[in-house]
Structure 1
Amino acid sequence: MVEENRPAFAAERRERILELVRANGTMSLRDIAVKVHASEVTVRRDVRALEAEGLVDRRRGGVALPGRVGHEQSYAGRSGRCAAEKAAIAASAARLVRPGDAVTIGPGTTTEALARELASRTDITVVTNSLRVAEALAGASGVEVVVTGGTVYGPARALVGAAAEQSLKGLRVTRAFLSGNGVSAERGLSTPNPAVAGVDAALAACAEETVVLADHTKVGADTMVATVPPEGIAHLVTDSSADPEVLMTLEETGALVHVAVVARERGQ
């Protein structure tokens, strides 16, 4: 079917997949493909997008509910997902920050982990719209923290809106560190919320280059609103469980891919 890959139908197809998984608990990709009249490749891409939003969990050859109620996963719930991978990604990304740097950091559980890594640094400036990032750096004597204005968006623990975007205009920093909910070679970095997307784009616009922090559940996922185009991603920091084919396509767009090694993989 030609229509199965058209963006206009993607949201409807993903909603149908979510309905099927909610009704059955677990399903194979093959069964889902039959039900939604799409290829397994298309369904796999849809499942990645749904997993990036915390709506389903991928299993070997299939998909399952993550064991929660409600449409949008809580911030605390996202914090517990892939915690070891996020810690490794944060440690790797922190090596891209040097004394004297000014950086922007967007909202997210992985960027919050990055902020904790930077708390012991000296002579850096962090501009952020993330309440959790600001809190993690509040006691860091060597870090100057600049928080944007804006309206609080609770699920992301972030400041959003025109005031947040306006406060970033005219700034220039070395790097922007963003997380989002999906990253692909086709659309770059994306997020399901337009308000969050607007500030993510503004944080990136301030920077000489953008660094995306994305665990394997987000690599290859494509959510509703694109924030940074593929060619605008200078670095992608992920973990070793990310799909190598997707990483290769991202490298072809110009991103330098850093694969962080999780502590358990080092035998620690």
Structure 2
Amino acid sequence: MVRANGAVSLRELARVVQTSEVTVRRDVRALEAEGLLDRRHGGAVLPGGFTRESGFPQKSLSATAEKTAIADLAASLVEEGEAIVVGAGTTTQELARRLARVPGLTVVTNSLLVAQALAHANRVEVVMTGGTLRGSNYALVGSGAEQSLQGLRVSRAFLSGSGLTAERGLSTSNMLSASVDRALVQAAAEVVVLADHTKLGADTMFQTVPTDVITRLVTDEPPVHDDRAITELQALADQGVQIAVASTGAPSAGSPQSPPAPPGDTDTSPGRPARRDVPLPGQRRTRGGAGPGPQRLNPAGGLEPGAGAGAGAVERSTRMADLRRR
């Protein structure tokens, strides 16, 4: 599976071979010892994966359920009449398919796949950058793409990448792609990163978005035993990144069922997926709406005074602590 896809998550492996993630993790360690693959947080890649970039066909087969859940949640952040930029990637392509239902939307993109997904959306305007086509991910790159973004201003940028760490932020394996992504970020008031748990803790060659520029991370819940991914999420939260965790709808193989979402923590609006926003310290930006204000965690994982009220707020504040204990 790793040879075919370039990368694979432990959750996918457990589902395909119908065993527990504990068993899969043990076997992956054995395969790594033989030099057949490299372990990554929550998954495995071909040896030398630090500099290697999988092509679109391989990426499209990796973490498919997680990408779908992330795209559903990310789409719920977009409002009618907004102007946004959407970068290249398989997760952003999934997002674009859902954005076709948002009326009055303007989407600026350098991705042919994102544009294709929105091509028949009557109430969505698509603006494409110039540039040179990079065939491996169907994206426009180079000076033409970067120059076409100069002077642009939109509300949000939605980006994905090859890896995400609290130390370096979002990164990718290709220099040209990284350069265009940086230009996309410069055009946006807020930056939303879409990254499944297999990318948490992965570090690739070219930084695209520093951690202090990332407004929000939309991700899926890491497997129970993926301590590194959970630790990375906490580190990102400690640096002020708002974290929204999308549910894939089922517990991973060999894992206990996750507890139900606490009161007030689920958006039940028509057409919007359930989501859990992990409370975090030092939020830099907030969105308007009803409910308690920004939640802050003290070093012990509790709710700081004045950070919210009610049982729902207290329960939300312990979400990251629950992940760490698991």
When normalised by structure 2's length, the TM-score is 0.62
| Structure 2 CA distance for aligned equivalents of residues 151 and 194 of structure 1 | 14
Structure 2 CA distance for partners of 1:237 and 1:209, relative to 1, 3 Å: same
Q: Which runs of 5+ in 1 are unaligned?
A: 1-24, 36-45, 52-56, 59-63
1:170 aligns with 2:156: no
Q: Quote the residue 1:131 is aligned against.
A: 112
Structure 2 counterparts to residues 70-89 of structure 1, below 5 A: 72-89=53-70
The code of the aligned residue for 1:73 comes to S
* 1:236 aligned residue: 217
- How far does residue 219 in structure 1 lie from its aligned partner after superposition? 0.9
Aligned ranges for residues 107-256 of structure 1 at < 5 Å?
107-241=88-222, 243-256=229-242
The answer to whether the Cα contact below 8 Å between 2:173 and 2:205 also exists between their aligned partners in 1 is yes
| Alpha-carbon displacement from aligned partner over 1:25-46 (angstroms, at most 9, x marks no partner) | 96549948xx9xxxxxxxxxx8
- 2: distance between equivalents of 1:26 and 1:232? 35
1:92-138 CA-to-partner distances (Å, cap 9, x unmatched) read 01111101110000000000000001111101100000010000000
Distance 2:87 2:71 in 1: 13
Secondary structure at the residue paired with 1:227?
strand
* Match 1:48 to one of 16, 33, 40: 40
TM-score normalised to the size of structure 1? 0.75
- 71-80 or 138-147: bigger deviation: 71-80
The verdict on how the C-alpha distance between 1:79 and 1:110 changes in structure 2, with shifts beyond 3 A counting, is same
- TM-aligned CA deviation for residue 264 of structure 1: 2.9
Summarize the Cα distance change of 1:26–1:247 in structure 2 as closer, same or farther, 3 Å threshold. Answer: closer
Aligned twin of 2:250 = 264
Structure 1 or 2: larger helix share? Answer: 1
| Mapped contact 2:32–2:39 kept (Cα < 8 A) | no
SS in 1 for 2:199: coil
Distance 1:234 1:87 in 2: 21
On the 8 A contact 2:71/2:98 being kept in 1, the answer is: yes
- 2:317 — aligned with what? none
Q: Give a deviation string over 1:41-76, Cα, whole Å, max 9, x none.
A: xxxxx8438x9xxxxx53xxxxx759xxxx642201
C-alpha RMSD of the superposition: 2.6
Residue identity opposite 1:131 in structure 2: L
By how many angstroms is 1:253 displaced?
A: 1.2
Q: Which amino acid aligns with 1:82?
A: A
| CA deviation map 1:142-195 (0-9, x unaligned) | 110000000000111100000000000100000000001111110001001000
C-alpha offsets along residues 234-268 of structure 1, whole Å, 9 cap, x if unaligned? 0000001262111000011111000000033499x
Does the aligned pair in 2 maintain the 1:234–1:255 contact within 8 Å? Answer: yes
Q: Is the 2:84–2:108 Cα contact (8 Å) retained in structure 1?
A: yes
Structure 2: state its 5+ residue gaps.
1-26, 224-228, 252-256, 259-326
Query: Is the partner of 1:217 in helix, strand or coil?
Result: helix
Q: Larger C-alpha radius of gyration, 1 or 2? A: 2
Equivalent-residue separation in structure 1 for 2:151 and 2:87 (angstroms):
17
In 2, distance between residues paired with 1:147 and 1:170?
Answer: 15
Are the counterparts in 2 of residues 188 and 230 from structure 1 also a CA contact under 8 Å?
Answer: yes
Greater relative CO, 1 or 2 (CA 8 Å, sep 6+): 1
SS in 1 for 2:40: helix
1:101–1:125 contact (8 Å) kept in structure 2: yes
